[in-house]
Structure 1
Amino acid sequence: MKKFLIGLVSLIVLVFLGLQIAQKVVSSGDDYYVQVTTDGKRIVSKDDSGNKYVDYKYSLPGYDKKGEEKQLDFSAAKDRPLRKEAFLKVTWNKNKGVTSYEEVQKKKVPEKAAEKLGISSAN
């Protein structure tokens, strides 16, 4: 019985660690910086239970720390659009596309990306 419990606990720990590593690999990617310039396209959908939910779809140019551009398509599952003029750090993965985003302060945008976004160094 003791061996069985030790084996079961070990298996659970290994599965948990494997899932954590897989999540890191899938959600890792390159960071791009965008400025929200639109309200996004409002999309109303229904889930499997018939409940309505709202997504806002965005297609914005993003720039990496070298200033290289990539068109980024992503959605925000919120009941309102993202804040206009906000700066976002968007993680893009070649297999999954945009995997995450987070709002950042203007001063956290790398210099070359800031230049492409039209942020002057005086701001």
Structure 2
Amino acid sequence: MKKFLIGFISLIVIALVGLQIADKVVKGGDDYYVQVTTDGERIDGKDSSGNPYVDYKYSLPGYDKDGTKKQLEFNAAKDRPLRREAFLKVTWNKKKGVTSYEEVQQKQLPKKAAEKLGV
């Protein structure tokens, strides 16, 4: 009984670790750097409960740490556009597209990406 219990607990721990790794792989991706140059396209909509919401749709060129360009399309679920001239680190996943973004300072840009963005 003791061996069964140890084996069962080990199996549960291995499964949980595997799920965390799989989740990180699915949500992870390649980092690209963009500069917000437009106010985005305002999209007004309603959720499934009928509540209104505002999104801003962006299509901007992004550059990875090696300076490779990719056209990135993503929505910002905010009640106002993203700040113009802001630099964003965008995570892009082959299966899901853009999965996240965060604002970064100009000094945090990789050298080749900064060159391509003209800074």
Give the TM-score normalised by structure 2: 0.85
| Structure-2 residue corresponding to 1:81 | 81
Deviations 1:58-91 (A, max 9, x none): 0000000110100000000011110000000000
Q: 1:102 to 1:15 in 2, by over 3 A?
A: same
1:99 maps to 99
| Partners of 1:12 and 1:49 in 2: CA distance | 38
1:38 and 2:38 correspond: yes
Aligned residues: 117
The structural deviation recorded for 1:20 is: 3.1
Is 1:51 the equivalent of 2:51?
yes
Distance 2:47 2:20 in 1: 27
**Structure 1 residue ranges without an equivalent (≥5):** 1-8
- Residue 108 of structure 1 is matched in structure 2 by 108
Q: Give the C-alpha shift of residue 15 in structure 1.
A: 6.7
Separation in 2, partners of 1:116, 1:89: 14
Distance 1:14 1:118 in 2: 47
Q: Residues 73 and 10 of structure 1: is their aligned pair in 2 closer, same or farther, counting only changes over 3 Å?
A: same
**Distance (whole Å) between structure 2 residues aligned to residue 50 and residue 15 of structure 1:** 39
Please, which moves more after superposition, 102-111 or 21-30?
A: 21-30
Extract unaligned runs of 5+ from structure 2: 1-8
CA, structure 1 residues 17+117, in 2 after alignment: closer, same or farther (shift >3 Å)?
same
Q: Cα distance, 1:17 vs. partner?
A: 4.6
**Structure 2 partner of 1:21:** 21
Instruction: Say whether 1:66 aligns with 2:66.
Output: yes
Shift of 1:27: 1.1
CA drift of 1:22 comes to 3.1
SS of structure 2 residue aligned to 1:42 = strand
Aligned identity (percent) is: 77
One-letter amino acid of the structure 2 residue matched with residue 107 of structure 1: K
